Structures are given as structure tokens and as C-alpha cells.
Chains A and B, each alone.
Chain A
Amino acid sequence: MDSTTIAQPSPFETLVPGMTIHQTTADSPAEQEPGLVIEDLNAYYGAFRAVKDVSMAISLRSVTAIIGPSGCGKSTLIRCLNRMHEVTPGARAHGRVLVGGEDVYAPDADPVQVRRHIGMVFQKPNPFPMMSVADNVVAGLKLAGVRDKQRVAEVTERSLRRAALWDEVKDKLHVSGAALSGGQQQRLCIARAIAVEPDVLLMDEPCSALDPMATLKIEELIHDLRESFTIVIVTHNMQQAARVSDRTAYMLMGEDRAGTLVEYGSTRDIFTNPKDKRTEDYITGRFG
């Protein structure tokens, strides 16, 4: 089937009126070059297993959404991808996460290096209040030792432009990062994350603290950033997942309170023709 034609109306589309589904030219995940591969990932908080046996292959330069009800482990999962999970005392993870063929959890892997190549944007915008807007953008660079002023200035402007923030802040690059509005702060955090040129950009519910206008701007931004970064976004908003992602993964908390991957496929398939009944129940609102 030609993937660019609009799908035939199915019972699911009519049950979820008004939902626009991102048109993607990609088909099954296996056909694209993998940007990030997760193999048998398990994550624990002490003795409690929060994420169980998750395996998925994420394509290079695509947007993958992870959806699911509260507590299903989606934030834990995404934090495992850049080894932020283990920062919490008592937390650990086992499994393999391959980026460009290299395992993030290899015994000789350095979490600091991992995080330089896998960036993260958090739920609540967190610019450094003691730094100006410009200093925030290049914080990752400067603290890694980059001193060349010209390069720093170039990266500042380029990152702010790519984050669709340049026009709004170019005259106030020296105000405190915390003096911007919520939506601007989050775009500043995105600029900061992309300034270090990561391979993968992780976004943990980046819009949940923002108003609809700011959310829209960020969704447009994600669409643009897709050309350069592999993006994984956790969202509790199904409509957002449908609008923004090429592929969607549905997670659910099992009987043992561990989160598992129920279904993973193209966004269109997930929202119009899910294979698993649990996915269908969630999409149509019967559950969660």
C-alpha cells in the first residue's frame, strides 16, 4: 500500500474524531537505518522493577512517541536511554541501548560521554537562573572547555535559530535565562540541548507545563528538528503523539507493576489499526 495515501476511514478514526495523524513516508521500523536500538532493557528502583524487557528499534532521524497511562514506566524508560535513570540513588538498569552500534551500557562506557551524545529536555523548563540566555545556550559547550569566542557566538545564534527562539531573544541575550516566558524557557532548553550536537534528543513530556500556543510552537519545532536528530518523546497526550511522531510505542503497567512495551509501530497503524486489544482500549479511551 502506498503509505502516502490517506488511510481508509476505519472504526478507530471515527471513534477518535478530530485527531490528525502525522503523514509519514516511513513504513515498518525495520526498513530504516536504526538510530537507537533498545535490547531487553530492565530498570529498577532498588528491588522494584519499573520497566520490564523492553526492546525496540528506533529509526535514524525520526520522531518516536512513547505513550501510556500514568505510572507505566515511560519516563523511566526514556531516562534509561541516556543513563539519567541511575542518577537517582538506588536506581539501576540492565540491558543494551545501542546508538550508532555502541552500547550505552557497555562496562567501559562513561555516562558523562553518553549524555554528551544523547541530549534531554525535561518536563519543567530548567534554564540556569544564574546565567544569561546566551550563556545558557552554550553552557554545555563552555563547561566542556570550548573557549573559542567566535565558535561560541556562532553556536549560540545557530542553536537559537534552530530552536525558533532567535528572533524573540536576539535583543536580550544577556537577561537571565529565567526571565523568559515558560514557552521561551523550554525552547531555550531545547537550544541548549541541541547546541552540543547530540545524536539523539530525548524529550520527557516537554509540553505538559506549557500553554497550547507554546505547545504548538514546540511541536512545529520538533517537526523541523526531525531532519537533524533522532527524537524520542514521552507524552501523556495521545493527540500530540499522533500529530508529531512517525512511530508510536504504547506502554502499560503489568500485574507486577512493571512497565512493558505492548505495541510499537507506525503512528498511523497504532491509531487506526492497532494489533493489540490493550492498545485499542487505550486509544479509544476505554482505559487509561
Chain B
Amino acid sequence: MGEETGALPAAQPAPLPLRRFTRGAAGGPQTRRLLIDRATTVGVVLCTAAAVFVLSAILLHVLANGAGALNLAFFTERPLPIGEVGGGVAPALLGTLMMVGVAALMGVPTGIGTAVYLSEYGRGRFATLVRFTIDLIAGVPSIVVGVFVWAVLVRSVVGHFNGLAGSVALAIIMVPIVTRTVEEVLRLVPDTLREASLGLGIPRWKTILAIVVPTAKSGVITGTVLSMARAGGETAPLLLTALGNQFFNFDLLQPTASLPVQIYNYAVAPYDDWHTKAWGAAFVLIVVIGLLSFITRRVTGGSLRG
């Protein structure tokens, strides 16, 4: 087969032009693949557009209907009785901030502690039981949480409706959200970091507090923010615990107003003026929760992304 000199036979040059790399050159399978590719991209974009559209629609609709109620008095005055013009939702705004704040102080550390236990220590049946219980609490309807806290804190301990009971109810709702999010994120911290810390002679508890949790910081913040957003919007449990208040109240052992309850009260009333105020309060609630999330992220050093 070779020449006498031992050289290899010359390779046969391929016929030109080949056009194997040209898009859609082969027709058939390649074109179909391109079409599916494009269709998928379009589909995904459409879904995103739908989500964004719905969210914008809610925001704009609320703003459009409630703009008439938004003035300085709205943010600084208390609600006025029927027939009187003016007034605002200031007590409700204050009450929401107070109750969500206290609820966060109770619920977030509890949630983080549970998540740390489940991620760093929990093995075996007790841990499984804890995880199951947390999932169960997450599934309890918020009004049931409200009824429970009413029985324990409103009827028994305090004797009347109070804002603290509202905070407790909100905290109960917050704990599973914080636990689930933080546990996920703690698990994502690579074991190599724990080993590095233990290898330096750092005790386990310090490894968790100083290395593992800070590495998972952004997830912890996300969990906190998500739970606060959820708590800020809960109405049913507050109806049964904090009840509501037409006057400014700084004492959590008294009935306390909150934005969701105020919205409800305004919305079910037969007065157009109050309906507009309900829309306005709804807008305020959305903005307040958005601001809370933003501020929490900035203050705790997280990024503005998720």
C-alpha cells in the first residue's frame, strides 16, 4: 500500500465545500432542535412576563384605587369615626411594625437555632421528629394558630386581647419559614470549612457560630426577610389576638392595631371613603414590607439580591 520510500499514502482530500457547521445545513434533526430551542426560550420568557405582569397589575391597581387616600394625614393620624372626614392608619402602621418586630425577635433566633440543630447536630429519630413537627407547624392554617394563641394568651394569661399575643402568633408562623430556609443554606456550607476550623482546634460550637453561620449569612437573611414579609401580611391570627385599636397604642399588653386588620375593617364597611382608605392601606402595607426587606438586607450586610 505504501510507496517504495515507505511514505504513507496521500490522504484523499474531502470534496469542497462541506458546510457541515452551517446552521440548519443538515435539515431534519438539526432544524427541529433549533425550533424546540427557540420555542422553549419563548415559553420561559412568556411565563416570566406573566408573573411580572400580574405583580405589576396588583401594585398598579392598588395604587390607582388608593392614591386618593394617600396624604400626610393618612400616615400620621388615627382613624376617625364614621361620618368624619380625614384620619389615617398611623396606629395600624405602628402596630404592624411593633408586632412584626417583636415576633421577629422571638421567631428568628428560635428558627435559626432549630436549623442549626437540624443541620449540625441532628442525627437519628429525634431530628426526624423535629423536622416533621416543623413541617407540620408550617402547614397549620394561620387562623388555627390564632385560635390557639387566643386560648393560651388572650383568654388565660392576659385576660384580654393584646398585641403580645399577636406577636406570639406571628412568631409561630415565622419559625418554620426561618428554619427551613436556614437549614437548607447551612447544609450547603461545605464540610471542608468545618474540618478546617476543627483542625485548628476551634471547638464545635464556635465553629458553627463563627464559621458556618456567617458563611451562610445571605441565606439566613433571606429566611428572616421572607418570614417577616409573611408575618406582616397575616390577618386572621391578629383578628383573634391583637383585635385592633382605633387609638395609638404603645403597650403591647393592650389591643393593638395592624395594617391587615385595618384594611379588613375598612374594606367590609359600606362607605366609599373607607374603601379608598382600604386600598391606600393595602398600598402602604406592600411598601412597608418591601422597605423592611430592603432595610434588613442592608443593615445585616447581605446583598440586595436573594
Contact assessment for A84 and B198 in the assembled complex, using a CB-CB cutoff below 8 Å: yes
A122-B195, A143-B210, A189-B196 known; A130+B217 contact, CB < 8 A:
yes
Cα(A113)–Cα(B203), bound, Å: 9
Q: B214 within 8 Å of A by Cβ? A: yes
Q: A144 within 8 Å of B by Cβ? A: yes
Contact assessment for A140 and B195 in the assembled complex, using a CB-CB cutoff below 8 Å: no
Nearest-neighbor residue (CB-CB) of A113 within chain B: B201
Contact with A along B188-219 (1 / 0, CB 8 A): 00101101111111110010001100110100
A122-B192, A126-B193, A128-B211 known; A193+B202 contact, CB < 8 A:
no
Residues of B within 8 A of A130 (CB): 211, 214-215, 217
Contact with B along A111-135 (1 / 0, CB 8 A): 0111111011010101111100000
Task: Specify which of A87, A115, A129, A193 is in contact with B215 (CB 8 Å cutoff).
Answer: A129
Cα(A122)–Cα(B199), bound, Å: 9
For chain B, which range describes its interface: under 10, 10 to 19, 20 to 34, or 35 or more residues? Answer: 10 to 19
Closest 6 CB pairs of A and B: A116-B201, A140-B200, A115-B201, A120-B199, A126-B192, A126-B196
Cα(A114)–Cα(B199), bound, Å: 9
Nearest-neighbor residue (CB-CB) of B210 within chain A: A143
Residues of B within 8 A of A241 (CB): none
Cα(A254)–Cα(B190), bound, Å: 32
Cα(A89)–Cα(B191), bound, Å: 13
Nearest-neighbor residue (CB-CB) of B214 within chain A: A130
Residues of A within 8 A of B196 (CB): 122, 126-128, 189, 192
Chain B proximity of A117: nearest CB distance (Å): 8
A130-B217, A143-B210 known; A87+B193 contact, CB < 8 A:
no
Chain B proximity of A141: nearest CB distance (Å): 9
Residues of A within 8 A of B200 (CB): 115-116, 119, 139-140, 143, 192-193, 196
A89-B123, A128-B215, A130-B215 known; A144+B195 contact, CB < 8 A:
no
Cα(A139)–Cα(B207), bound, Å: 11
B interface secondary structure, majority: helix
> In chain A, residues 148-196, which have Cβ atoms closer than 8 Å to a Cβ of chain B?
189, 192-193, 196
Cα(A119)–Cα(B195), bound, Å: 11
Residues of A within 8 A of B190 (CB): 126
Residues of B within 8 A of A76 (CB): none
Cα(A140)–Cα(B207), bound, Å: 11
Cα(A192)–Cα(B202), bound, Å: 13
A122-B192, A143-B206, A143-B210 known; A82+B215 contact, CB < 8 A:
no
Contact assessment for A144 and B201 in the assembled complex, using a CB-CB cutoff below 8 Å: yes
Cα(A84)–Cα(B211), bound, Å: 18
Residues of B within 8 A of A112 (CB): 201-203
Nearest-neighbor residue (CB-CB) of A127 within chain B: B196
Pairs across A and B, CB under 8 Å, 29 listed? A82-B199, A84-B195, A84-B198, A84-B199, A112-B201, A112-B202, A112-B203, A114-B201, A115-B201, A116-B200, A116-B201, A119-B199, A122-B199, A126-B192, A126-B195, A128-B196, A128-B211, A129-B215, A130-B211, A140-B200, A140-B201, A140-B202, A143-B197, A143-B210, A144-B201, A192-B196, A192-B200, A196-B200, A196-B201
Cα(A136)–Cα(B221), bound, Å: 24
Considering residues A82, A87, A117, which has the most beta carbons from chain B within 10 angstroms of its beta carbon? A87
Residues of B within 8 A of A143 (CB): 197, 200, 202, 206, 210
Contact assessment for A87 and B217 in the assembled complex, using a CB-CB cutoff below 8 Å: no
Residues of B within 8 A of A129 (CB): 193, 215
Residues of B within 8 A of A122 (CB): 192, 195-196, 199
> In chain B, residues 203-256, which have Cβ atoms closer than 8 Å to a Cβ of chain A?
203, 206, 210-211, 214-215, 217
Chain A proximity of B228: nearest CB distance (Å): 24
Contact with B along A38-50 (1 / 0, CB 8 A): 0000000000000
Nearest-neighbor residue (CB-CB) of A123 within chain B: B192
Contact assessment for B210 and A115 in the assembled complex, using a CB-CB cutoff below 8 Å: no
